[in-house]
Structure 1
Amino acid sequence: MDAKSRFVALLRDVATTINRLSPEQFDQMAAGDARLAFVPPGGDVVVAGPDAGPIRAKLAATESRRAAAAYLDGLGLKRDALMSLARQLSVAVLSKDPKPMLVQKIVDATAGAREDTTAIHSPKWR
């Protein structure tokens, strides 16, 4: 394939990618507020997530799994931001985990782990 044919194929791929954008994404691209990025095969897209420090502290202070889940839901984080948060908190997650599973894993590894430890060390168990 010559250079001209490769270039035409590349333009076709770019047009297909742009056609798949939502209207909001397209408007952001047109305004210059967003851009397309090249991700090589096998590469990961790095999504900047929220600062984990304050979230970690809040989760550590919650009284129950339910309160921790409500707090995370209240943050209004999208799936990619939850993935980033989980990684910052050293919570094992899978790339295919849906948003509710991410919330559950974060809760179980933070407030849930503390809740379990408290229950085990409680005099009620002795």
Structure 2
Amino acid sequence: MSVTVGFWRQRKRIAEKLKNPRILNITFHTFRHWKATVKCHKTEGIIYVKELLGHKDIESTMVYINIEKSLFQMKSDEFYFKTASSMEGAGKLIEAGYDHITTFNGVMLFRKRSNDLSEK
């Protein structure tokens, strides 16, 4: 059995098990797009992605860049962190745009993306 046939069979099994027919649209080319999109997001280097994909024309690579911008919406991977030990403190952080992440040893942990222009 070839790799392609094995992939198709596995893809069909997963689509049926998850009752998600959209999985049948996933191809090897989908993985190529995903890899390029993630690399572009992490490195922000269009020339690197162009070379990775073997494109001769930068315009071909720009397709991946546009996908990356819409997928990740240019959000930073850096966060501000705050803690709260009371419901009042937690409420103020939520009003300021922080998201509750977890509670550890009675302390609530919150985070907000660093590119959020509202007050830290």
TM-score range, shorter chain: under 0.3
Name the structure where strand makes up a greater proportion of residues: 2
Name the structure where helix makes up a greater proportion of residues: 1
- Of structures 1 and 2, the one with the larger relative CO (CA 8 A, separation 6+) is 1
Q: TM-score, with normalisation over the residues of structure 2?
A: 0.25
Q: TM-score, with normalisation over the residues of structure 1?
A: 0.24
